[in-house]
Chains A and B, each alone.
Chain A
């Protein structure tokens, strides 16, 4: 039990390191699509990190936050793409 706790903490540390490397692509990407890809990858990693946090503290409310963040990242990507393609969001 204690070993699994240590493994989850180490996993969160590695995930946050890789998030910084993906933010490099999201900030300095040469084209617009590169930035959106970087934000999408960062969102997936943040959802996984929230689920790990819920397993460490053993509380179910962290899973609700992770579910909501997954839906938010999906809607954000689709809204950016739709705005950049058509230059308007409605109609």
Chain B
């Protein structure tokens, strides 16, 4: 039994450190990207694995303390896994509808033909 607890705590430490790495990568992208579209892409892609991995690590730690209370962490993970990409998608749709200019290096514009058909 004590080996299970030790294994869970080592796994928790590794997962929390990985989540912090993803958060730092997301912050660097939000600061240094040149464009609202690129910034939103980095924010969504860096944040989702960040909270997923680090909250899974805290869940492993809570399993050794109080297994019933740890179900709340699973509820938070499932809610944010749906909520965060939807929020960033709505931000990008707002960006595109108000015609925010993008950088000149952008070559892909997949919605261009759709707009001409209308």
A interface residues (Cβ-Cβ under 8 A, vs B): 1, 3-4, 7-8, 11, 14-15, 18, 21-22, 24-25, 31, 33-34, 36-38, 40-41, 44-45, 47-48, 51-52, 54-55, 58, 60, 63-64, 66-67, 70-71, 73-74, 77-78, 81, 84-85
A7–B23 contact, CB under 8 A? no
Distance in angstroms from B115 CB to nearest chain A CB is 17
We find that the number of chain B residues with CB closer than 8 angstroms to chain A is 48
Q: Which of A4, A58, A67 interacts with B75 by CB under 8 Å?
A: A67
A18–B9 contact, CB under 8 A? no
Interface residue SS majority, chain B: helix
- B residues 62-92 in Cβ contact with A at 8 Å: 62, 65-66, 69, 72-73, 75-76, 79-80, 83-84, 86-88, 90-92
A52–B20 contact, CB under 8 A? no
A67–B54 contact, CB under 8 A? no
Q: A22-B30, A70-B79, A81-B91 are in contact. Are A4 and B73 (CB under 8 A)?
A: no
B9–A1 contact, CB under 8 A? yes
Most buried by B among A1, A45, A55, A67: A55
A71–B87 contact, CB under 8 A? no
B76–A51 contact, CB under 8 A? yes
Q: Which of B66, B76, B100 interacts with A67 by CB under 8 Å?
A: B76
- New contact pairs (18) apart from A11-B19, A44-B50, A70-B76, CB-CB < 8 Å: A11-B17, A14-B20, A25-B39, A33-B36, A33-B100, A37-B88, A37-B91, A38-B30, A40-B91, A44-B47, A47-B51, A51-B54, A51-B76, A52-B54, A55-B61, A63-B73, A71-B79, A78-B87
Chain B residues in 8 Å Cβ range of A3: 13
Chain B residues in 8 Å Cβ range of A67: 72, 75-76, 79
Residue of B nearest to A19 (CB): B27
